[in-house]
Structure 1
Amino acid sequence: MVNRRRFLTLSSLAGLLPSLSFSSAKAVHTSDGPDSQLTTSEGVSPLLSGPIAISTWKQPKANAAAQAVLDGGGRALDAVEAGVRVPEADPEDMSVGYGGRPDRDGHVTLDACIMDEKGNAGSVTFLEHIMHPISVARAVMEKTPHVMLSGEGALTFALSQGFKKENLLTKKAEKEWREWLKTAKYKPIANIERHDTIGMLAIDSKGDISGACTTSGLAYKMRGRVGDSPIIGAGLFVDNEIGGACATGLGELVMRTCGAFLVVELMRQGHTPQQACEEAAMRIIKKQDYKDIQVGFLALNKKGEYGAYSIQPGFNYTLSQQKRTEVTDAKSYLK
């Protein structure tokens, strides 16, 4: 089983001639329970029917929360918010929300964004002391004339909306940070940082799509650093006519290519979700020394077709529909 908090470190790449792969994805895990089923995606993703929730990484609990909303006839927007709130509140998930690894100064700072089927969006960056930044982002979308609030302003707004101020630095995360301080060596490489983000996309019973993305960002980052996760068009983008996409990995590379927007636009041009994710990754690979970095894309179109692709192996995603949940290893450029 792939540990979603660790990208695999490639011990040797000498002589490797990477090529674009279109091999089939392999389902590696299914949820427990009498209604669970194991399925394997062969080639092009199957056309699905009914509500769908799909998220980056192994997130069965998050997907279950989203699916409960969808099964009750709820909006995709409500589903993705409910879904990503699960890892936000999980102290064992050290890359999202409560328990997230701090910046180099010992502060847990959070980024999140959300986007609905009408193109409305909300975002918060550099937010401290609030366990559920995704809900603050939704409040920004619904209760302000803005799309993004940051830092002290985002915190002030959150408190005005009734969110509780809390200490998000757990003893476990603090212990790791103090151990890191002994050398304070920093290199923003996703494979080493064990960094991941939860991005979630959903289609509801009306066929509407929404998405959410939330993270505590790179461990031991420079104070004030913001990645792609809260940026509409980079870490997340939704167009209800076409579909949605989200990204994970080293955010600086995703921002430089407007990754999620690019994936959706490629789908608009006729690419399948899988082809769009692969092309978006290639845009990075062609311009970047990719051997020690990781970026992964996940996409879902209006037909219910989905795709995922990453630079390095180790990226996976969770799909839920009709009481079935599976975690699947994404295809990757390097093997």
Structure 2
Amino acid sequence: MNRRKFIKNASLTGIGIAASSALNACNTHSNEENKKPLNDNVTTLKNKNFPISICTWGFVNANAKAGESLKNGLNALDAAIAGVAVEEEDIRNTTVGKGGTPDRKGNVTLDACVMDSNGDCGAVLCVENITNVAALAKKVMTDTPHVILAGKGAEEFGYSQGFKKENLLTESSKKALDNWKKTSEYKPIINIENHDTIGMLCMDKNGDIAGACSTSGLAYKMKGRVGDSPIIGSGLFIDNEVGGAVATGLGEEVVKTVGSFLIVELMRQGKTPQEACEEAIKRITSKGDDYKDFQIAYIAMNKAGETGAYCIHKGFAMMKYQDDKNERVEVDYFNKI
């Protein structure tokens, strides 16, 4: 079934609403196009130096893969999926894909979502035995009438689409779980336990934006726990008339403010990606002192090619591919005490 035809037949009235929203977004951006960036984390592309790829954390190879794919003509969504697949397949990464840290019962469960430049999206939650869950999320988007599939249903759908069944629990992850069980103390560690989620935003040669987010979630989570990463609007959101944003960190806190959607809406109102990321972090830190115990970080990109990033605590960085250069960018942070 063609997803776009399915949605069109289901709700033709949505077209008028979307067109009006897109027009407002374009008008807002036009008024703010020449606004001066806040700091060095923001880059203004006056000459449309596409393509661009940015991702959370220091995933050099993943971002290089996405950037090179864009350079070779791949569209934004497929480039993002190719990029995150590098980490999904790297067993050294303990919170993405194969080799991810299991839940308290010893099960490795993966979550992912994707969103393209047309506003279509797909997500999978609590998937076992399949490594490339971002690619699986795209299959949900393109080959089903749904947005989200979970658990065994998502896994069975994956096999029907040709995804290989494999054991995601490595020996090193199993040994780490056995050691954790000696104390069973659960407390997220800033920039460690929750830091390897990969979120990626890509802008292709046509200036279209898409993104992907993939994770195995918090280490030793309760069975069935799902964070922000596969939730459209929280872990990832794209509006091709405005821009995109993606989150990493303690998912429970991102969900409370629907962080990625918030950032895109702030950009729609005229804020730069940097300003929008800073405001999204402020929404979290203004609720009390709990933020001192966890990390949240956002990265964002708008249609002008400006990028921004901000986090709560020191230690977060992002990768940026542009003009054949793949560079690590240290990110400014809120808690400087």
* TM-score class normalised by the smaller sequence: 0.7 to 0.9
Aligned residue runs from structure 1 range 198-217, under 5 A: 198-217=198-217
**Consecutive unaligned residues in structure 1, runs of 5 or more:** 1-21, 25-41
Go from structure 1 to structure 2 and tell me whether the alpha carbon gap of 1:220 and 1:158 turns closer, same or farther (over 3 Å shift): same
How many angstroms does 1:188 deviate by? Answer: 3.9
How many angstroms does 1:240 deviate by? Answer: 0.2
How many angstroms does 1:184 deviate by? Answer: 0.8
How many angstroms does 1:71 deviate by? Answer: 0.9
Aligned residue runs from structure 1 range 251-330, under 5 A: 251-288=251-288, 289-330=290-331
The residue type equivalent to 2:95 in the other structure is S
Q: Residue by residue, what CA displacement relative to the aligned partner does 1:38-78 show, whole Å, maximum 9, x if unpaired?
A: xxxx3643326120000000011111211222111120011
Q: Distance in 2 between matches of 1:206 and 1:192?
A: 37
How many angstroms does 1:303 deviate by? Answer: 0.7
Aligned partner of 2:43 in structure 1 is 45
Q: Residue by residue, what CA displacement relative to the aligned partner does 1:272-313 show, whole Å, maximum 9, x if unpaired?
A: 000000000000011142111110000000111000000011
Secondary structure of the residue aligned to 2:202 is strand
Identity %: 56
**Consecutive unaligned residues in structure 2, runs of 5 or more:** 1-36
The residue type equivalent to 2:235 in the other structure is G
Aligned partner of 1:160 in structure 2 is 160
Aligned partner of 1:19 in structure 2 is none
How many angstroms does 1:193 deviate by? Answer: 2.4
Aligned residue runs from structure 1 range 66-85, under 5 A: 66-85=66-85
Matching of residue 60 in structure 1 with residue 60 in structure 2: yes
Aligned partner of 1:227 in structure 2 is 227
The residue type equivalent to 2:335 in the other structure is L
Q: Distance in 2 between matches of 1:44 and 1:105?
A: 43
Contact 1:198 1:248 in 2 (8 A): yes
Contact 2:62 2:87 in 1 (8 A): yes
Contact 1:195 1:217 in 2 (8 A): no
Q: Distance in 2 between matches of 1:101 and 1:179?
A: 13
The residue type equivalent to 1:141 in the other structure is M
State how many pairs are aligned: 297
Please identify which structure carries the higher helix content. 2
Aligned partner of 2:92 in structure 1 is 92
Contact 1:228 1:235 in 2 (8 A): yes
Computed over aligned residues only, the root mean square deviation of the Cα atoms, in angstroms, reads 1.4
How many angstroms does 1:196 deviate by? Answer: 2.7
Aligned partner of 1:8 in structure 2 is none
The residue type equivalent to 1:308 in the other structure is A
Secondary structure of the residue aligned to 2:54 is strand
Secondary structure of the residue aligned to 1:193 is coil
Secondary structure of the residue aligned to 2:291 is coil
The residue type equivalent to 1:163 in the other structure is F
Contact 2:194 2:249 in 1 (8 A): no
Q: Distance in 1 between matches of 2:43 and 2:167?
A: 42
Q: Distance in 2 between matches of 1:220 and 1:43?
A: 34
Contact 1:58 1:316 in 2 (8 A): yes
Out of 188-197 and 266-275, give the one that drifted further. Answer: 188-197
Secondary structure of the residue aligned to 1:183 is coil
Q: Distance in 1 between matches of 2:131 and 2:324?
A: 29
Q: Distance in 1 between matches of 2:181 and 2:251?
A: 23
Q: Distance in 2 between matches of 1:272 and 1:262?
A: 13
Aligned residue runs from structure 1 range 114-129, under 5 A: 114-129=114-129
Aligned partner of 1:175 in structure 2 is 175
Aligned partner of 1:187 in structure 2 is 187
Aligned partner of 2:250 in structure 1 is 250
Q: Distance in 1 between matches of 2:241 and 2:277?
A: 18
The residue type equivalent to 1:149 in the other structure is L
Contact 1:189 1:250 in 2 (8 A): no
| TM-score (normalizing by structure 1) | 0.86
The residue type equivalent to 1:280 in the other structure is A
Aligned partner of 2:101 in structure 1 is 101
| TM-score (normalizing by structure 2) | 0.86
Go from structure 1 to structure 2 and tell me whether the alpha carbon gap of 1:23 and 1:68 turns closer, same or farther (over 3 Å shift): closer
Q: Distance in 2 between matches of 1:61 and 1:189?
A: 25
Secondary structure of the residue aligned to 2:293 is coil
Secondary structure of the residue aligned to 2:201 is strand
Q: Residue by residue, what CA displacement relative to the aligned partner does 1:305-335 show, whole Å, maximum 9, x if unpaired?
A: 0000000111110000121011011110012
